[in-house]
A and B are shown apart, each in its own frame.
Chain A
Amino acid sequence: MTELELPPIDYAALAPILIMLSAAVLGVLVEAFVPRRLRHPVQLPLALLAVLAALTMVVFNADKRVITIGVIAVDGPTLFLQGAILALSAVALLLIGERAVERGGAFVAHAAVTADSPEDRRQAENVGGAGEVYPLTTFAIAGMLIFVSANDLLTMFIALEVFSLPLYLLCALARRRRLLSQEAAMKYFLLGAYASAFFLFGLALIYGFTAGLGDRQAGVDFATVNAAVANSTASPVLLFAGMALVAIGLLFKAAAAPFHVWTPDVYQGAPTPLTGFMAACTKVAAFGALLRVFHVAFEGARWDFTPVLGVVAVLTMLVGALFAVTQTDIKRLLAYSSIANAGYLLVGVLAPGSEGLSGTMFYLVAYGFTVLAAFAVVTLVRDADGEATHLSRWAGLGRKSPLYASAFTFILLAFAGIPMTSGFTSKFAVFGPALEGGQVWLVIAGVLSSMVLAFPYLRVVVMMWLSEPGESTPTVAVPGGLTSAALVIGVLATLVLGVAPAPLLDLATSAADFVR
């Protein structure tokens, strides 16, 4: 497939990425030149339009299977995952753009004002939110699109930085609880920087390993790495160390244990719409990259990495499930749940063959929509001080606002994997191929952790429905059209993918083939 003479650039294949990048640049210009009060009405449609245009291009590219300019592989998984990222981003953008629930939206206007100072509290009450959220988000989306299509480790690293840096910034922009937000951003940035360093170091070692290929130039593109895994004469220590370090960088983004410690703090501190964005889209991007790296580049070392990644998967599922039990904050609970889900996804990554691949991709989409709906509800349950995230405050919510409590109950049942929800079909989609691949222990660990995890979910349901509402039970804010739309889309997707998963499964199956 890879011809050595430079192929002409396939602009159509790159179009989704180019559209998002230009939209981001345009967004920066809007921020510079458009009057303040018009910025939000211009930025949100701009970002949404760009996402939709990119999505259209992804659909238009549906049959494309090329590697263009040597570094971007546009193939089935790329297109599927790009489509997933864009669809989920569109929903997340609806949440990010919501300004009716809280005056000025969930994001702070002047992030540099000292947290908790009188001035800061004044701006939390009155000042409209910042518009730079949109270009930052758009940059992040563009980075994710490159990340899942990168065909060499270096491009992958650049994409990692392109989507990580805006996320670090965005985490610090919560309107309320500024100190938590800034702490989260700091933590995310520092740990993220370490993870990037690990990735980069691993990349260097892999490069060294490929130098052992006699007849071929050293390089970090996946075809070369793949060939090197099979034939290199260099020390396998280079390969194993490099593979481990690259994996650490990726597993950090995927929030797998033991590289998960940032997740609860960041999920809690970040503005909730952004938490939803990270939980849905970052997960797709991280696992998209993991799939490509382990299915394409390191395919030949499957026997070597499967036990190690298997241990990571089991650890991730158990850590996520066990710690979720003790949480008292809904955002932290969802964070640990997202860690456990990363474990289930890893089971899918480790399942051999195209079925594991398609199952994992299906899981990513299903989980993304559900988790976005979950955070949409979290943005709505609030009191005078902003969101009421402590679980005790949710007591009796079912009595006060049955509609939203029903929606959240449905979402929690989906997380718990009850049939007729996407949570069940997606678990089946990853556990089936894993069992088929002989990884019985992973499936058993998955089932056991699901049992544990059912308890915290159920506790929230009990809180909402079976407890009497207290005086401190917050009212649910009337959502604006955007949050409602996001919530409806999320819940509907959860239901439809649970009842009639066949079309998306077909799509995932037909897309489950990498170009090499």
Chain B
Amino acid sequence: MSDFPFLSVLTVAPLVGAVVVALLPRSRPTLAKQVALGWSLLVLALSVVMWVSWQVDGQRFQFRESYPWIPNWGVSFTFAADGIALVMLMLIAVLVPLVILASWHDAESSKRSVPVYFALLLVLECTMLGVFAAADVFLFYVFFEVMLVPMYFLIGSYGGHQRQYAAVKFFLYSLVGGLFMLAAVIGLWVVGGKTFDWVALSEVDISTGAERWLFLGFFIAFAIKAPFFPFHTWLPDAGGAAPAGAAALLVGVLDKVGTFGILRYCLPLFPDAAQWFAPWALGLAVIGIIYAALLAVGQNDLKRLVSYTSIAHFGFIGVGIFAFTTQAGTGAVLYMVNHGLATGLLFLVVGMLISRRGSALVSDFGGAGKLVPVLAGVLFFAGLASLALPGTAPFVSEFLVLIGTFTVNKPVAIIATLGIILAAAYVLWMVQRTTQGTLNPALTEIDGMKRDLNLREKFVVAPLIALIVLLGFYPKPVTDVINPAIQATLEDVGRSDPAPTVDTLQEASR
């Protein structure tokens, strides 16, 4: 079964689905939704099969496929997944059907074509899967850039107010980063002897100066994408304006391309430069944790608030990556998955609240829990997961990151820990001001606020809650996949752990 070309099929399948959905008549929106949902479930089923056929003790890269594309430049369609890519692929496959289900009525309010909205979601899935599955730097770059286009139209055509501004800002920021990367990609191609194959490139010796410049080209692109402070200003605008489903994908998956890219490209391809730049990257990450958390505390717009919390979380991931220990690295990758689940859930729930109230402002709510108790409960849970309460999945990852960092860099770990306190502040205040306290009389006059979660919405949140709890208590299946990949990455960088005690830590976290 492992000979099956999982990765290419997985990448192409949503694209085919998108074409099918786009061709459906505009007058049959429900059919389009059903087809899109069915298709994304098929992709999920395929990726589950892929997960099962993954060999935990196998090679670092599995499911490798390679087809020639542009031989003149040494470009090929090469797909291969390591453990990090595998868990991200799974995350995408899980999130997309839920987002489609959650966005069931999102496109209708915008007066624009409903099938196109769902087709765009599927195109987005195709590019996201492709970017994680690619093992050819050129192919990675292609997906990295093309990914912008569906997201641009999702935000720009179907978003809330200020959607034009947000869409253009998103596109330009990402494109600027992408062009820096393009220069670096070409540079890498030249110094690497005209190949784009990741494996071949990771064995090339590059002079120190060139390596630092190339690292910087890639790093800027990824730092904008992730986003790290100070390249983050596009995310609150984009996240605030995007429809909730698209925002969940934007923050839950798209931004992970940045951190994934650092792990897959910046570290193994430019190990010395990565070490040289690590203090700077750690600095940015720590500033991001504190600064974004403070801004999140002050937000009055729910979606912007969640966006800022993400920036803070990406700070944690950044710290985990650049601490160069197995625990911290595993924690960072686990955080990428958990953050996708937790923030994805938070975005979706917030979206449900907003669509009921017709406003995204925290001050327009108040005591909503009395009207929609289940929804308020889910929001509370999502909030707790987001602040990494023990028992939820993000706790495991945050703890691993902090422990792993503490062994090598105490000040960073200590400052980052402050972020946890701030996280409690922004989440709890947000929950308190929206769902607790005295009921805002204005809410009772809105019909939407009288409807609690319906069956469809329960189907959206239930799997995410289940996964968050499950991974909170038993992260082993995921860490088992991640660990070898992280160890291999750190070997590439040439760093070893001061005291490799991953297993006992996992015991401690249970």
The answer to whether B175 touches A435, judged by C-beta atoms less than 8 angstroms apart, is: no
Q: How far is the CA of A462 from the CA of B166 in the complex (A)?
A: 11
Could you say which residues of chain B place their CB within 8 Å of the CB of A427? Answer: 182
Interface bin, chain B: 20 to 34
Nearest Cβ on chain B to A203's Cβ, whole angstroms: 37
Nearest Cβ on chain A to B393's Cβ, whole angstroms: 34
Could you say which residues of chain B place their CB within 8 Å of the CB of A455? Answer: 172
The answer to whether B70 touches A501, judged by C-beta atoms less than 8 angstroms apart, is: yes
Q: A418-B148, A447-B183, A455-B172 are in contact. Are A432 and B164 (CB under 8 A)?
A: no
The answer to whether A462 touches B142, judged by C-beta atoms less than 8 angstroms apart, is: no
Interface check B156, CB cutoff 8 A? yes
Q: How far is the CA of A505 from the CA of B153 in the complex (A)?
A: 32
The answer to whether A447 touches B164, judged by C-beta atoms less than 8 angstroms apart, is: no
The answer to whether A447 touches B182, judged by C-beta atoms less than 8 angstroms apart, is: yes
The answer to whether A451 touches B72, judged by C-beta atoms less than 8 angstroms apart, is: no
Nearest Cβ on chain B to A439's Cβ, whole angstroms: 11
Contact partner, B179, options A413, A428, A451, Cβ 8 Å: A451
Could you say which residues of chain B place their CB within 8 Å of the CB of A416? Answer: 175
Interface check A466, CB cutoff 8 A? yes
The answer to whether A419 touches B142, judged by C-beta atoms less than 8 angstroms apart, is: yes
Could you say which residues of chain A place their CB within 8 Å of the CB of B4? Answer: none
Q: How far is the CA of A261 from the CA of B363 in the complex (A)?
A: 55
- Within A452-469, the residues touching B (CB, 8 Å) are 454-455, 458-459, 462, 465-467
Contact with B along A154-194 (1 / 0, CB 8 A): 00000000000000000000000000000000000000000
The answer to whether A435 touches B171, judged by C-beta atoms less than 8 angstroms apart, is: no
Give the interface SS of chain B, mostly helix, strand, loop or mixed: helix
The segment out of B81-89, B185-193, B419-427, B477-485 that lies at the interface is: B185-193
Could you say which residues of chain A place their CB within 8 Å of the CB of B171? Answer: 454, 458
The answer to whether A432 touches B186, judged by C-beta atoms less than 8 angstroms apart, is: yes
Contact with A along B251-265 (1 / 0, CB 8 A): 000000000000000
The answer to whether A443 touches B183, judged by C-beta atoms less than 8 angstroms apart, is: yes
Contact with A along B54-76 (1 / 0, CB 8 A): 00000000000000011111000
The answer to whether B175 touches A466, judged by C-beta atoms less than 8 angstroms apart, is: no
Q: How far is the CA of A509 from the CA of B69 in the complex (A)?
A: 16
Interface check B453, CB cutoff 8 A? no
Q: Which of B72, B156, B167 has the most CB of A within 10 A?
A: B72
Chain A residue nearest to B183 (CB atoms) is: A447
The answer to whether B190 touches A509, judged by C-beta atoms less than 8 angstroms apart, is: no
Q: A420-B146, A501-B70, A502-B70 are in contact. Are A462 and B183 (CB under 8 A)?
A: no
Interface check A450, CB cutoff 8 A? yes
Q: A428-B186, A462-B164 are in contact. Are A418 and B72 (CB under 8 A)?
A: no
Q: How far is the CA of A427 from the CA of B171 in the complex (A)?
A: 19
The answer to whether B156 touches A465, judged by C-beta atoms less than 8 angstroms apart, is: yes
The answer to whether A505 touches B168, judged by C-beta atoms less than 8 angstroms apart, is: no
Interface check B231, CB cutoff 8 A? no
Nearest Cβ on chain B to A240's Cβ, whole angstroms: 31
The 6 A-B residue pairs with the shortest CB-CB distance, nearest first, are: A419-B142, A505-B72, A466-B164, A447-B183, A466-B156, A447-B179
Residue positions of A touching B, CB distance < 8 A: 413, 416-420, 424-425, 427-428, 431-432, 435-436, 440, 443-444, 447, 450-451, 454-455, 458-459, 462, 465-467, 500-502, 505-506, 509
7 contacting pairs across A/B (C-beta < 8 A): A418-B149, A443-B186, A447-B180, A465-B157, A502-B69, A502-B71, A505-B72
Given contacts A431-B183, A436-B190, A458-B168, 8 further A-B contacts (CB under 8 A): A419-B141, A432-B73, A454-B171, A454-B176, A459-B168, A465-B156, A466-B163, A502-B69
Residue positions of B touching A, CB distance < 8 A: 69-73, 141-143, 145-146, 148-149, 153, 156-157, 163-164, 167-168, 171-172, 175-176, 179-180, 182-183, 186-187, 189-190
